A and B are shown apart, each in its own frame.
Chain A
Amino acid sequence: MSTIPENTANTEVIEFDVRTDEMLVNMGPQHPSTHGVLRLVLRTDGEVVSEVTPHLGYLHRCAEKIGENLTPRQWIPYTDRMDYLAAMSMNLGWALCTEKLMNLQVPEKARHLRVIIAEMQRIASHLVGMGAYGLDLGSFSPFLYAFREREKILDLFEEACGARLTYSYLTVGGATADLPPGWLQKCEAFLDQFLPVIDEYHALLTTNSIFIKRCANIGVMPADMAISYGCSGAVLRGSGVDLDLRRDGEEWYTNMYDGYAFEVIVEKEGHYPNDHVYPPVPPEAVLGDCWHRFYVRMLEVRQAVDLVRQAIDRYSAASGSYGEPVKLAEKLPAGETYLETEAPRGQMGFYIVSDGSPIPWRVRARSSCFCNLSVTSELCRNTLIADIPAVVGSLDIVMGEIDR
Protein backbone atom coordinates (compact mmCIF):
# COMPACT_ATOMS: atom_id res chain seq x y z
CA MET A 1 0.00 0.00 0.00
CA SER A 2 2.98 2.25 0.38
CA THR A 3 3.10 2.85 -3.40
CA ILE A 4 -0.13 4.83 -3.38
CA PRO A 5 0.61 8.56 -3.35
CA GLU A 6 -0.16 10.50 -0.20
CA ASN A 7 -2.85 12.64 -1.70
CA THR A 8 -5.16 9.61 -1.94
CA ALA A 9 -5.67 10.05 1.77
CA ASN A 10 -7.73 13.01 0.72
CA THR A 11 -11.06 11.42 -0.16
CA GLU A 12 -11.91 14.20 -2.62
CA VAL A 13 -9.14 13.19 -5.01
CA ILE A 14 -10.39 10.26 -7.00
CA GLU A 15 -7.87 10.25 -9.85
CA PHE A 16 -4.13 10.52 -9.88
CA ASP A 17 -1.48 10.18 -12.52
CA VAL A 18 0.33 6.91 -12.77
CA ARG A 19 3.66 7.44 -14.47
CA THR A 20 4.55 4.61 -16.80
CA ASP A 21 7.51 4.05 -19.06
CA GLU A 22 7.55 5.39 -22.58
CA MET A 23 6.90 2.66 -25.07
CA LEU A 24 7.09 2.33 -28.85
CA VAL A 25 4.05 0.54 -30.24
CA ASN A 26 3.98 -0.72 -33.77
CA MET A 27 0.59 -0.41 -35.42
CA GLY A 28 0.43 -2.18 -38.76
CA PRO A 29 1.33 -2.83 -41.55
CA GLN A 30 -1.33 -5.51 -41.10
CA HIS A 31 -3.81 -3.83 -38.81
CA PRO A 32 -7.55 -3.67 -39.46
CA SER A 33 -7.81 0.05 -38.85
CA THR A 34 -4.89 1.33 -40.92
CA HIS A 35 -6.81 0.91 -44.21
CA GLY A 36 -4.32 -1.20 -46.06
CA VAL A 37 -0.64 -1.67 -45.49
CA LEU A 38 0.28 1.42 -43.49
CA ARG A 39 2.59 1.17 -40.53
CA LEU A 40 2.36 3.68 -37.70
CA VAL A 41 4.96 3.76 -34.96
CA LEU A 42 3.40 5.27 -31.85
CA ARG A 43 5.44 6.64 -28.98
CA THR A 44 3.14 6.09 -26.04
CA ASP A 45 3.12 6.91 -22.38
CA GLY A 46 0.27 4.91 -20.91
CA GLU A 47 -2.77 5.73 -23.01
CA VAL A 48 -1.35 8.97 -24.38
CA VAL A 49 0.43 9.04 -27.73
CA SER A 50 3.15 11.65 -27.88
CA GLU A 51 4.36 11.02 -31.40
CA VAL A 52 3.21 9.14 -34.49
CA THR A 53 5.57 8.25 -37.34
CA PRO A 54 3.92 6.83 -40.48
CA HIS A 55 5.97 4.43 -42.58
CA LEU A 56 4.76 3.86 -46.12
CA GLY A 57 5.87 2.18 -49.30
CA TYR A 58 4.58 -1.34 -48.67
CA LEU A 59 2.47 -1.08 -51.83
CA HIS A 60 5.00 0.76 -54.00
CA ARG A 61 4.84 -0.67 -57.52
CA CYS A 62 6.95 1.91 -59.39
CA ALA A 63 3.92 3.11 -61.38
CA GLU A 64 5.77 6.26 -62.50
CA LYS A 65 8.74 4.25 -63.78
CA ILE A 66 6.42 1.90 -65.63
CA GLY A 67 4.73 4.93 -67.20
CA GLU A 68 8.04 5.89 -68.85
CA ASN A 69 7.81 2.72 -70.92
CA LEU A 70 4.16 2.77 -71.97
CA THR A 71 1.94 5.03 -74.05
CA PRO A 72 -0.71 7.02 -72.13
CA ARG A 73 -3.49 4.63 -73.12
CA GLN A 74 -1.43 1.65 -72.06
CA TRP A 75 -0.83 3.28 -68.68
CA ILE A 76 -4.58 3.61 -67.97
CA PRO A 77 -4.76 0.18 -66.22
CA TYR A 78 -1.93 1.27 -63.91
CA THR A 79 -3.97 4.29 -62.84
CA ASP A 80 -6.78 1.89 -61.91
CA ARG A 81 -4.50 0.39 -59.33
CA MET A 82 -3.75 3.68 -57.63
CA ASP A 83 -6.99 4.55 -55.88
CA TYR A 84 -8.60 1.17 -56.48
CA LEU A 85 -11.78 2.30 -54.70
CA ALA A 86 -12.24 5.07 -57.27
CA ALA A 87 -10.53 3.68 -60.35
CA MET A 88 -12.85 5.59 -62.71
CA SER A 89 -11.71 8.91 -61.24
CA MET A 90 -8.07 7.91 -61.71
CA ASN A 91 -8.72 6.98 -65.37
CA LEU A 92 -10.47 10.29 -65.85
CA GLY A 93 -7.67 12.34 -64.28
CA TRP A 94 -5.01 10.76 -66.47
CA ALA A 95 -7.15 10.88 -69.61
CA LEU A 96 -7.88 14.60 -69.12
CA CYS A 97 -4.21 15.37 -68.48
CA THR A 98 -3.13 13.62 -71.68
CA GLU A 99 -5.94 15.28 -73.62
CA LYS A 100 -4.79 18.65 -72.31
CA LEU A 101 -1.30 17.95 -73.67
CA MET A 102 -2.75 16.88 -77.03
CA ASN A 103 -5.32 19.69 -76.98
CA LEU A 104 -8.02 17.15 -77.69
CA GLN A 105 -11.62 18.04 -76.83
CA VAL A 106 -13.99 15.14 -76.27
CA PRO A 107 -17.49 15.32 -77.80
CA GLU A 108 -20.44 16.65 -75.79
CA LYS A 109 -21.87 13.20 -75.21
CA ALA A 110 -18.57 11.86 -73.85
CA ARG A 111 -18.41 14.79 -71.43
CA HIS A 112 -21.78 13.94 -69.88
CA LEU A 113 -20.98 10.23 -69.86
CA ARG A 114 -17.87 11.07 -67.86
CA VAL A 115 -19.88 13.07 -65.34
CA ILE A 116 -22.32 10.17 -64.85
CA ILE A 117 -19.49 7.70 -64.31
CA ALA A 118 -17.32 9.99 -62.17
CA GLU A 119 -20.18 10.89 -59.83
CA MET A 120 -21.41 7.31 -59.53
CA GLN A 121 -17.83 6.43 -58.62
CA ARG A 122 -17.85 9.16 -55.99
CA ILE A 123 -20.92 7.58 -54.37
CA ALA A 124 -19.34 4.10 -54.43
CA SER A 125 -16.07 5.41 -53.03
CA HIS A 126 -17.67 7.43 -50.22
CA LEU A 127 -19.78 4.41 -49.29
CA VAL A 128 -16.60 2.44 -48.59
CA GLY A 129 -15.14 5.41 -46.75
CA MET A 130 -18.24 5.65 -44.59
CA GLY A 131 -18.61 1.93 -43.96
CA ALA A 132 -14.96 1.42 -43.13
CA TYR A 133 -15.01 4.41 -40.80
CA GLY A 134 -17.88 2.88 -38.87
CA LEU A 135 -15.86 -0.32 -38.68
CA ASP A 136 -12.85 1.59 -37.32
CA LEU A 137 -15.00 2.95 -34.53
CA GLY A 138 -16.52 -0.42 -33.69
CA SER A 139 -19.83 -0.20 -35.50
CA PHE A 140 -20.14 -3.15 -37.84
CA SER A 141 -23.57 -2.88 -39.47
CA PRO A 142 -23.12 0.38 -41.46
CA PHE A 143 -20.31 -1.38 -43.33
CA LEU A 144 -22.72 -4.07 -44.53
CA TYR A 145 -25.39 -1.52 -45.47
CA ALA A 146 -22.78 0.50 -47.39
CA PHE A 147 -21.48 -2.51 -49.29
CA ARG A 148 -25.00 -3.58 -50.17
CA GLU A 149 -25.52 -0.35 -52.11
CA ARG A 150 -21.99 -0.21 -53.49
CA GLU A 151 -22.52 -3.66 -54.94
CA LYS A 152 -25.34 -2.27 -57.09
CA ILE A 153 -23.05 0.44 -58.45
CA LEU A 154 -20.39 -2.15 -59.21
CA ASP A 155 -23.02 -4.18 -61.07
CA LEU A 156 -23.81 -1.11 -63.17
CA PHE A 157 -20.12 -0.53 -63.88
CA GLU A 158 -19.68 -4.17 -64.75
CA GLU A 159 -22.44 -3.86 -67.28
CA ALA A 160 -20.82 -0.79 -68.82
CA CYS A 161 -17.24 -2.03 -69.08
CA GLY A 162 -16.95 -5.63 -67.90
CA ALA A 163 -14.90 -5.00 -64.76
CA ARG A 164 -15.94 -4.55 -61.17
CA LEU A 165 -12.95 -2.82 -59.62
CA THR A 166 -10.23 -1.94 -62.13
CA TYR A 167 -12.25 -0.54 -65.00
CA SER A 168 -9.93 1.16 -67.54
CA TYR A 169 -13.23 2.49 -68.91
CA LEU A 170 -12.68 6.21 -69.36
CA THR A 171 -9.69 6.66 -71.60
CA VAL A 172 -7.82 9.21 -73.70
CA GLY A 173 -10.33 10.51 -76.23
CA GLY A 174 -13.54 9.50 -74.45
CA ALA A 175 -14.51 6.05 -73.19
CA THR A 176 -13.81 2.55 -74.46
CA ALA A 177 -17.50 1.88 -75.13
CA ASP A 178 -20.88 3.57 -74.97
CA LEU A 179 -23.29 2.81 -72.14
CA PRO A 180 -25.31 -0.30 -73.05
CA PRO A 181 -29.02 0.07 -73.91
CA GLY A 182 -31.23 0.27 -70.84
CA TRP A 183 -28.32 1.25 -68.59
CA LEU A 184 -29.64 4.74 -67.88
CA GLN A 185 -33.00 3.38 -66.70
CA LYS A 186 -31.24 0.99 -64.35
CA CYS A 187 -29.08 3.81 -63.08
CA GLU A 188 -32.13 6.00 -62.43
CA ALA A 189 -33.87 3.15 -60.66
CA PHE A 190 -30.82 2.76 -58.46
CA LEU A 191 -30.80 6.46 -57.57
CA ASP A 192 -34.50 6.37 -56.68
CA GLN A 193 -34.12 3.53 -54.25
CA PHE A 194 -30.80 4.89 -52.94
CA LEU A 195 -32.11 8.27 -51.74
CA PRO A 196 -34.01 6.95 -48.69
CA VAL A 197 -31.01 4.78 -47.83
CA ILE A 198 -28.91 7.91 -47.26
CA ASP A 199 -31.23 8.83 -44.38
CA GLU A 200 -30.66 5.35 -43.01
CA TYR A 201 -26.91 6.02 -43.00
CA HIS A 202 -27.45 9.31 -41.21
CA ALA A 203 -29.47 7.51 -38.56
CA LEU A 204 -26.87 4.75 -38.22
CA LEU A 205 -23.77 6.93 -37.99
CA THR A 206 -24.01 10.69 -38.53
CA THR A 207 -26.49 11.32 -35.72
CA ASN A 208 -25.61 8.30 -33.60
CA SER A 209 -24.59 9.63 -30.19
CA ILE A 210 -21.85 7.02 -29.66
CA PHE A 211 -20.41 7.85 -33.07
CA ILE A 212 -20.53 11.58 -32.30
CA LYS A 213 -18.74 10.96 -28.99
CA ARG A 214 -15.99 9.06 -30.78
CA CYS A 215 -15.27 11.64 -33.47
CA ALA A 216 -16.63 15.09 -32.54
CA ASN A 217 -13.85 17.42 -31.36
CA ILE A 218 -11.21 14.76 -32.15
CA GLY A 219 -8.32 15.48 -34.50
CA VAL A 220 -9.24 19.12 -35.05
CA MET A 221 -7.40 20.58 -38.03
CA PRO A 222 -7.46 24.35 -38.55
CA ALA A 223 -7.86 25.65 -42.11
CA ASP A 224 -4.33 27.06 -42.41
CA MET A 225 -2.83 23.75 -41.36
CA ALA A 226 -4.90 21.89 -43.95
CA ILE A 227 -3.73 24.26 -46.69
CA SER A 228 -0.09 24.16 -45.63
CA TYR A 229 -0.08 20.35 -45.68
CA GLY A 230 -1.69 20.32 -49.11
CA CYS A 231 -4.80 18.50 -47.88
CA SER A 232 -7.66 18.26 -50.32
CA GLY A 233 -11.13 16.88 -50.84
CA ALA A 234 -13.33 16.25 -47.82
CA VAL A 235 -10.33 16.66 -45.51
CA LEU A 236 -9.81 20.23 -46.71
CA ARG A 237 -13.50 21.17 -46.89
CA GLY A 238 -14.11 19.60 -43.48
CA SER A 239 -11.83 22.35 -42.14
CA GLY A 240 -14.02 25.00 -43.74
CA VAL A 241 -11.88 25.79 -46.81
CA ASP A 242 -14.17 26.59 -49.72
CA LEU A 243 -12.33 24.79 -52.53
CA ASP A 244 -13.67 22.23 -54.94
CA LEU A 245 -11.85 21.77 -58.23
CA ARG A 246 -15.09 20.94 -60.01
CA ARG A 247 -15.88 24.64 -59.58
CA ASP A 248 -12.47 26.26 -58.94
CA GLY A 249 -10.08 24.10 -60.91
CA GLU A 250 -8.43 24.66 -64.23
CA GLU A 251 -10.72 25.45 -67.13
CA TRP A 252 -9.74 22.24 -68.89
CA TYR A 253 -11.36 20.33 -66.04
CA THR A 254 -14.20 22.64 -64.96
CA ASN A 255 -15.49 22.65 -68.57
CA MET A 256 -16.65 19.12 -67.87
CA TYR A 257 -19.07 20.44 -65.24
CA ASP A 258 -20.03 23.49 -67.28
CA GLY A 259 -23.76 24.17 -66.88
CA TYR A 260 -24.23 21.80 -63.96
CA ALA A 261 -25.90 23.15 -60.84
CA PHE A 262 -24.23 22.14 -57.60
CA GLU A 263 -23.09 23.77 -54.40
CA VAL A 264 -19.71 23.07 -52.86
CA ILE A 265 -20.18 21.16 -49.61
CA VAL A 266 -18.45 23.33 -47.03
CA GLU A 267 -19.44 25.15 -43.87
CA LYS A 268 -19.76 28.83 -44.75
CA GLU A 269 -20.81 31.44 -42.21
CA GLY A 270 -21.68 28.73 -39.75
CA HIS A 271 -23.88 26.54 -41.93
CA TYR A 272 -23.72 23.97 -44.68
CA PRO A 273 -25.60 24.42 -47.99
CA ASN A 274 -29.35 24.20 -47.48
CA ASP A 275 -30.37 22.75 -50.85
CA HIS A 276 -31.66 19.64 -49.06
CA VAL A 277 -32.61 18.73 -45.52
CA TYR A 278 -29.51 17.45 -43.77
CA PRO A 279 -29.18 16.23 -40.19
CA PRO A 280 -28.14 19.08 -37.87
CA VAL A 281 -24.52 19.56 -36.77
CA PRO A 282 -24.25 18.36 -33.16
CA PRO A 283 -23.18 21.01 -30.63
CA GLU A 284 -20.09 18.95 -29.67
CA ALA A 285 -18.64 19.06 -33.18
CA VAL A 286 -15.94 21.62 -33.95
CA LEU A 287 -15.12 22.69 -37.51
CA GLY A 288 -12.16 20.66 -38.75
CA ASP A 289 -12.71 17.62 -36.53
CA CYS A 290 -13.25 14.00 -37.60
CA TRP A 291 -17.02 14.39 -37.53
CA HIS A 292 -17.00 17.27 -40.02
CA ARG A 293 -14.77 15.38 -42.45
CA PHE A 294 -17.22 12.50 -42.30
CA TYR A 295 -20.21 14.80 -42.68
CA VAL A 296 -18.80 16.49 -45.80
CA ARG A 297 -18.39 13.05 -47.38
CA MET A 298 -21.98 12.10 -46.55
CA LEU A 299 -23.31 15.34 -48.01
CA GLU A 300 -21.25 14.81 -51.15
CA VAL A 301 -23.05 11.52 -51.67
CA ARG A 302 -26.35 13.41 -51.81
CA GLN A 303 -24.78 16.00 -54.12
CA ALA A 304 -23.47 13.28 -56.43
CA VAL A 305 -26.98 11.85 -56.78
CA ASP A 306 -28.17 15.25 -58.03
CA LEU A 307 -25.25 15.52 -60.45
CA VAL A 308 -25.82 12.05 -61.91
CA ARG A 309 -29.49 12.91 -62.49
CA GLN A 310 -28.56 16.12 -64.33
CA ALA A 311 -25.92 14.27 -66.33
CA ILE A 312 -28.37 11.55 -67.38
CA ASP A 313 -30.70 14.19 -68.82
CA ARG A 314 -27.90 15.92 -70.71
CA TYR A 315 -26.41 12.67 -71.93
CA SER A 316 -29.75 11.51 -73.33
CA ALA A 317 -30.28 14.86 -75.06
CA ALA A 318 -26.79 14.97 -76.59
CA SER A 319 -26.34 13.62 -80.05
CA GLY A 320 -23.21 12.23 -81.66
CA SER A 321 -20.55 9.90 -80.36
CA TYR A 322 -19.36 8.91 -76.88
CA GLY A 323 -15.84 9.73 -78.05
CA GLU A 324 -13.30 7.78 -79.95
CA PRO A 325 -10.29 6.47 -78.00
CA VAL A 326 -7.06 7.68 -79.60
CA LYS A 327 -4.76 5.15 -81.25
CA LEU A 328 -2.83 3.03 -78.78
CA ALA A 329 0.48 4.51 -79.95
CA GLU A 330 -0.73 7.99 -80.86
CA LYS A 331 2.12 10.49 -81.18
CA LEU A 332 2.21 13.05 -78.38
CA PRO A 333 3.17 16.67 -79.00
CA ALA A 334 6.41 17.72 -77.31
CA GLY A 335 5.76 19.66 -74.14
CA GLU A 336 4.62 19.17 -70.61
CA THR A 337 1.50 19.76 -68.60
CA TYR A 338 0.00 19.22 -65.17
CA LEU A 339 -3.68 18.78 -64.35
CA GLU A 340 -5.51 18.21 -61.09
CA THR A 341 -8.98 16.77 -60.83
CA GLU A 342 -11.37 16.40 -57.92
CA ALA A 343 -11.31 12.67 -57.19
CA PRO A 344 -13.43 11.33 -54.29
CA ARG A 345 -10.43 11.43 -51.94
CA GLY A 346 -9.16 14.83 -53.02
CA GLN A 347 -7.13 16.53 -55.68
CA MET A 348 -5.50 13.94 -57.88
CA GLY A 349 -2.85 15.48 -60.10
CA PHE A 350 -1.04 14.07 -63.11
CA TYR A 351 2.07 15.54 -64.71
CA ILE A 352 3.19 14.44 -68.14
CA VAL A 353 6.41 15.37 -69.94
CA SER A 354 6.69 14.44 -73.58
CA ASP A 355 9.63 14.59 -76.00
CA GLY A 356 7.38 14.16 -79.03
CA SER A 357 7.34 10.37 -79.19
CA PRO A 358 4.27 8.22 -78.36
CA ILE A 359 5.78 7.25 -74.99
CA PRO A 360 5.97 10.04 -72.40
CA TRP A 361 9.38 11.04 -71.14
CA ARG A 362 8.15 11.24 -67.57
CA VAL A 363 4.83 10.74 -65.83
CA ARG A 364 4.09 11.80 -62.29
CA ALA A 365 1.07 11.17 -60.13
CA ARG A 366 0.33 13.61 -57.33
CA SER A 367 -1.62 11.63 -54.79
CA SER A 368 -4.26 13.33 -52.67
CA CYS A 369 -4.05 10.72 -49.90
CA PHE A 370 -0.25 11.12 -49.76
CA CYS A 371 -0.71 14.73 -48.65
CA ASN A 372 -3.75 13.97 -46.51
CA LEU A 373 -1.81 11.28 -44.65
CA SER A 374 1.21 13.53 -44.06
CA VAL A 375 -0.86 15.47 -41.56
CA THR A 376 -1.33 12.48 -39.19
CA SER A 377 1.77 13.05 -37.08
CA GLU A 378 0.58 16.57 -36.37
CA LEU A 379 -3.06 15.58 -35.71
CA CYS A 380 -2.22 12.61 -33.48
CA ARG A 381 0.24 14.40 -31.21
CA ASN A 382 -0.85 14.03 -27.56
CA THR A 383 -4.04 12.16 -28.27
CA LEU A 384 -5.27 8.89 -26.80
CA ILE A 385 -4.46 5.58 -28.49
CA ALA A 386 -8.17 4.98 -29.07
CA ASP A 387 -8.37 8.20 -31.09
CA ILE A 388 -5.69 7.15 -33.60
CA PRO A 389 -8.07 4.94 -35.65
CA ALA A 390 -10.68 7.73 -35.48
CA VAL A 391 -8.23 10.29 -36.91
CA VAL A 392 -6.60 8.04 -39.53
CA GLY A 393 -9.99 6.68 -40.60
CA SER A 394 -11.44 10.17 -41.01
CA LEU A 395 -8.72 10.97 -43.57
CA ASP A 396 -10.10 8.10 -45.68
CA ILE A 397 -6.83 6.98 -47.21
CA VAL A 398 -6.16 4.31 -49.82
CA MET A 399 -2.63 2.98 -49.72
CA GLY A 400 -2.58 2.05 -53.39
CA GLU A 401 -2.73 5.72 -54.22
CA ILE A 402 -0.18 6.78 -51.62
CA ASP A 403 2.49 4.24 -52.56
CA ARG A 404 1.72 4.08 -56.28
Chain B
Amino acid sequence: MGEQNLVSRLQAKFGSKILDVQLDAIDPWVEVSAEGLPEVCQYLHDEPDLKFDYLSCISGVDYFEPDPKKAAKLIGKPRMEVVYHLWSVTHKSSLVLKVLLPRWKGEQEGSLPDVPSVAHIWRTADWHEREVYDLSGINFTGHPDLRRILCPEDWEGYPLRRDYQMPLEYHGIRCR
Protein backbone atom coordinates (compact mmCIF):
# COMPACT_ATOMS: atom_id res chain seq x y z
CA MET B 1 0.00 0.00 0.00
CA GLY B 2 1.25 3.45 -0.86
CA GLU B 3 2.37 5.79 1.90
CA GLN B 4 -0.09 8.45 0.79
CA ASN B 5 -3.00 6.04 1.27
CA LEU B 6 -1.79 5.02 4.68
CA VAL B 7 -1.37 8.62 5.79
CA SER B 8 -4.85 9.65 4.60
CA ARG B 9 -6.26 6.69 6.48
CA LEU B 10 -4.47 7.65 9.67
CA GLN B 11 -5.54 11.28 9.30
CA ALA B 12 -9.16 10.29 8.76
CA LYS B 13 -9.13 7.97 11.74
CA PHE B 14 -7.10 10.00 14.25
CA GLY B 15 -7.52 13.58 13.04
CA SER B 16 -5.66 16.01 15.27
CA LYS B 17 -3.48 13.30 16.79
CA ILE B 18 -1.50 13.16 13.54
CA LEU B 19 0.50 16.37 13.73
CA ASP B 20 2.76 16.29 10.69
CA VAL B 21 3.65 14.10 7.73
CA GLN B 22 6.85 14.06 5.70
CA LEU B 23 6.44 11.88 2.65
CA ASP B 24 9.42 13.08 0.61
CA ALA B 25 12.00 12.22 3.28
CA ILE B 26 14.29 9.25 2.53
CA ASP B 27 12.27 7.24 5.04
CA PRO B 28 8.79 8.84 5.10
CA TRP B 29 7.64 9.65 8.62
CA VAL B 30 4.50 10.57 10.48
CA GLU B 31 4.47 12.77 13.55
CA VAL B 32 2.06 11.67 16.26
CA SER B 33 1.08 13.55 19.41
CA ALA B 34 2.33 11.96 22.63
CA GLU B 35 -1.22 11.30 23.95
CA GLY B 36 -2.30 9.69 20.69
CA LEU B 37 0.70 7.40 20.37
CA PRO B 38 -0.59 4.19 22.04
CA GLU B 39 -3.86 4.38 20.12
CA VAL B 40 -2.15 4.90 16.76
CA CYS B 41 0.35 2.13 17.49
CA GLN B 42 -2.36 -0.31 18.53
CA TYR B 43 -4.22 0.44 15.28
CA LEU B 44 -1.09 -0.01 13.13
CA HIS B 45 -0.32 -3.25 14.94
CA ASP B 46 -3.81 -4.78 14.77
CA GLU B 47 -5.21 -3.76 11.38
CA PRO B 48 -4.92 -6.88 9.16
CA ASP B 49 -3.82 -5.04 6.00
CA LEU B 50 -1.20 -2.97 7.87
CA LYS B 51 0.00 -5.38 10.56
CA PHE B 52 3.09 -3.54 11.77
CA ASP B 53 3.86 -6.39 14.15
CA TYR B 54 7.61 -5.83 14.42
CA LEU B 55 9.10 -2.86 16.25
CA SER B 56 12.66 -2.54 14.99
CA CYS B 57 13.99 0.31 17.01
CA ILE B 58 13.20 3.21 19.33
CA SER B 59 15.67 6.09 19.32
CA GLY B 60 15.84 9.34 21.23
CA VAL B 61 17.32 12.33 19.43
CA ASP B 62 18.18 15.56 21.21
CA TYR B 63 17.96 18.68 19.02
CA PHE B 64 19.82 21.21 21.11
CA GLU B 65 23.07 23.08 20.59
CA PRO B 66 24.66 24.26 23.85
CA ASP B 67 27.10 26.53 22.02
CA PRO B 68 25.19 29.75 21.14
CA LYS B 69 27.55 30.52 18.24
CA LYS B 70 26.67 27.27 16.51
CA ALA B 71 23.00 27.31 17.40
CA ALA B 72 21.99 28.90 14.11
CA LYS B 73 23.13 25.78 12.26
CA LEU B 74 20.56 23.70 14.02
CA ILE B 75 17.46 22.44 12.26
CA GLY B 76 14.42 23.79 14.10
CA LYS B 77 13.91 24.74 17.71
CA PRO B 78 15.30 22.81 20.70
CA ARG B 79 13.33 19.61 21.26
CA MET B 80 13.56 15.88 21.93
CA GLU B 81 12.39 13.43 19.31
CA VAL B 82 11.45 9.84 19.98
CA VAL B 83 11.60 7.87 16.73
CA TYR B 84 9.86 4.52 16.24
CA HIS B 85 10.89 2.33 13.31
CA LEU B 86 8.14 -0.15 12.54
CA TRP B 87 8.19 -3.09 10.19
CA SER B 88 5.61 -5.59 9.06
CA VAL B 89 6.75 -9.21 8.84
CA THR B 90 3.62 -10.10 6.87
CA HIS B 91 3.65 -7.27 4.33
CA LYS B 92 7.39 -6.45 4.38
CA SER B 93 6.64 -2.75 4.69
CA SER B 94 8.07 -0.15 7.03
CA LEU B 95 6.91 3.05 8.69
CA VAL B 96 8.54 5.68 10.87
CA LEU B 97 6.65 7.37 13.71
CA LYS B 98 7.92 10.41 15.55
CA VAL B 99 6.89 12.05 18.80
CA LEU B 100 8.21 15.55 19.46
CA LEU B 101 8.68 16.53 23.09
CA PRO B 102 10.02 19.52 24.99
CA ARG B 103 13.54 18.90 26.30
CA TRP B 104 12.30 19.27 29.89
CA LYS B 105 8.78 18.93 31.19
CA GLY B 106 7.40 22.43 31.80
CA GLU B 107 10.83 23.85 30.80
CA GLN B 108 11.99 22.84 34.26
CA GLU B 109 15.49 21.47 33.97
CA GLY B 110 15.77 18.00 35.48
CA SER B 111 12.14 16.99 35.05
CA LEU B 112 11.87 14.48 32.23
CA PRO B 113 9.32 14.79 29.42
CA ASP B 114 6.60 12.13 29.33
CA VAL B 115 5.58 9.84 26.53
CA PRO B 116 3.26 6.83 26.93
CA SER B 117 4.94 3.42 26.79
CA VAL B 118 4.13 0.99 23.98
CA ALA B 119 5.65 -2.03 25.75
CA HIS B 120 2.20 -3.64 25.97
CA ILE B 121 1.94 -3.63 22.16
CA TRP B 122 5.45 -4.78 21.24
CA ARG B 123 7.61 -6.51 23.87
CA THR B 124 10.69 -5.09 22.10
CA ALA B 125 9.72 -1.69 23.46
CA ASP B 126 10.40 -2.85 27.02
CA TRP B 127 14.19 -2.81 26.75
CA HIS B 128 14.37 -0.16 24.05
CA GLU B 129 12.39 2.31 26.19
CA ARG B 130 14.65 1.54 29.13
CA GLU B 131 17.63 2.37 26.93
CA VAL B 132 16.13 5.64 25.69
CA TYR B 133 15.25 6.56 29.28
CA ASP B 134 18.77 5.69 30.39
CA LEU B 135 20.69 7.53 27.69
CA SER B 136 18.36 10.29 26.45
CA GLY B 137 16.28 10.98 29.55
CA ILE B 138 12.69 10.42 28.49
CA ASN B 139 10.06 9.19 30.90
CA PHE B 140 7.90 6.41 29.45
CA THR B 141 4.69 6.45 31.44
CA GLY B 142 3.08 3.08 32.07
CA HIS B 143 6.31 1.15 31.43
CA PRO B 144 6.40 -2.05 33.55
CA ASP B 145 9.95 -1.62 34.84
CA LEU B 146 11.56 1.68 33.88
CA ARG B 147 15.13 1.70 35.18
CA ARG B 148 18.56 2.20 33.67
CA ILE B 149 19.81 -0.63 31.47
CA LEU B 150 23.30 0.20 30.13
CA CYS B 151 24.56 2.69 32.72
CA PRO B 152 24.89 1.75 36.41
CA GLU B 153 21.71 2.26 38.44
CA ASP B 154 23.16 5.20 40.40
CA TRP B 155 24.50 7.02 37.33
CA GLU B 156 23.56 10.68 37.10
CA GLY B 157 22.49 12.51 33.99
CA TYR B 158 21.53 11.36 30.51
CA PRO B 159 24.65 10.85 28.36
CA LEU B 160 23.07 11.27 24.93
CA ARG B 161 21.73 14.73 25.78
CA ARG B 162 23.70 17.37 23.95
CA ASP B 163 24.46 19.41 27.10
CA TYR B 164 25.54 16.39 29.15
CA GLN B 165 28.61 16.87 31.28
CA MET B 166 30.59 13.78 32.22
CA PRO B 167 30.89 13.65 36.04
CA LEU B 168 34.34 14.32 37.51
CA GLU B 169 34.38 11.03 39.33
CA TYR B 170 32.24 7.98 39.94
CA HIS B 171 32.76 6.06 43.19
CA GLY B 172 36.34 7.28 43.41
CA ILE B 173 37.09 6.47 39.75
CA ARG B 174 38.30 9.51 37.81
CA CYS B 175 36.15 10.09 34.74
CA ARG B 176 37.71 13.11 33.07
Identify the A interface with B (CB < 8 A): 56-57, 60, 62, 64-65, 100-101, 225, 227-230, 241, 243, 248, 250, 334-338, 340, 347, 349, 351, 353, 355-357, 361-362, 364, 366, 370-371, 374-375, 403-404
Contacts and interface: CB of A to CB of B under 8 A. Distances in A.
Contact of A355 (B74, B85, B135): B74
B27 A60 contact: no
A349 B83 CA distance: 14
B6 interface: no
B124 A374 contact: yes
Contact of B61 (A101, A241, A361): A361
A62 B135 CA distance: 9
A351 B83 contact: yes
A366 B149 contact: no
| Chain B, interface residues (CB within 8 Å), range | 35 or more
Given A57-B150, A248-B92, A340-B56, A100 B127 contact: no
A357 B159 contact: no
Nearest to B61: A362
Nearest to B132: A364
Contacts of B27: 336-338
Interface in B113-165: 122-124, 126-127, 131, 135, 148-152, 159-160
Contact of A357 (B73, B96, B135): B73
Interface hub of B55, B57, B85, B160 (most chain A Cβ within 10 A): B57
Contact of B57 (A225, A229, A349, A357): A349
B124 A364 contact: no
Contacts of A374: 123-124, 126-127
Contacts of B87: 340
7 contacts: A57-B150, A57-B151, A336-B27, A340-B87, A349-B57, A362-B59, A375-B123
B57 A338 contact: yes
Interface in B29-69: 53-57, 59, 61-63
Contacts of A334: 75
B25 to A, nearest CB: 7
Given A64-B160, A336-B26, A362-B61, 11 more contacts: A56-B150, A57-B149, A57-B151, A230-B54, A230-B55, A335-B25, A338-B85, A351-B59, A355-B74, A355-B75, A356-B73
B94 interface: yes
A351 B81 CA distance: 13
A388 B150 CA distance: 22
A349 B55 CA distance: 12
Given A64-B160, A230-B123, A371-B127, A364 B57 contact: yes
A204 B164 CA distance: 52
Contacts of B122: 228, 230
A355 B71 CA distance: 12
Contacts of A62: 159
Contacts of A65: 159-160
Contact of A337 (B26, B55, B61, B73): B26
A403 to B, nearest CB: 6
B89 A100 contact: no
A357 B55 CA distance: 30
A25 B26 CA distance: 48
Nearest to B53: A227
A355 B62 CA distance: 12
Given A56-B149, A57-B152, A361-B61, A370 B56 contact: no
Nearest to B92: A248
Nearest to B25: A335
Contacts of B83: 351
A337 B55 CA distance: 16
B93 to A, nearest CB: 10
Nearest to B26: A337
B176 to A, nearest CB: 12
Contacts of A336: 25-27
B24 to A, nearest CB: 10
B151 A364 contact: no
B26 A335 contact: yes
A100 B159 contact: no
A230 B152 CA distance: 25
A228 B73 contact: no
A230 B56 contact: yes
Contacts of B25: 335-336
A353 B85 contact: no
Interface hub of A56, A225, A230 (most chain B Cβ within 10 A): A230
Contacts of B26: 100-101, 335-337
A340 B73 CA distance: 29
A349 B127 contact: no
Given A349-B85, A351-B83, A351-B85, A403 B123 contact: no
Interface hub of A100, A347, A366 (most chain B Cβ within 10 A): A366
A43 B122 CA distance: 26
Given A57-B151, A351-B85, A366-B56, A338 B96 contact: yes
Contacts of A248: 92
A76 B121 CA distance: 34
**8 smallest A-B Cβ distances: which pairs?**
A230-B124, A366-B57, A57-B150, A364-B59, A60-B150, A228-B123, A337-B26, A374-B127
B96 A60 contact: no
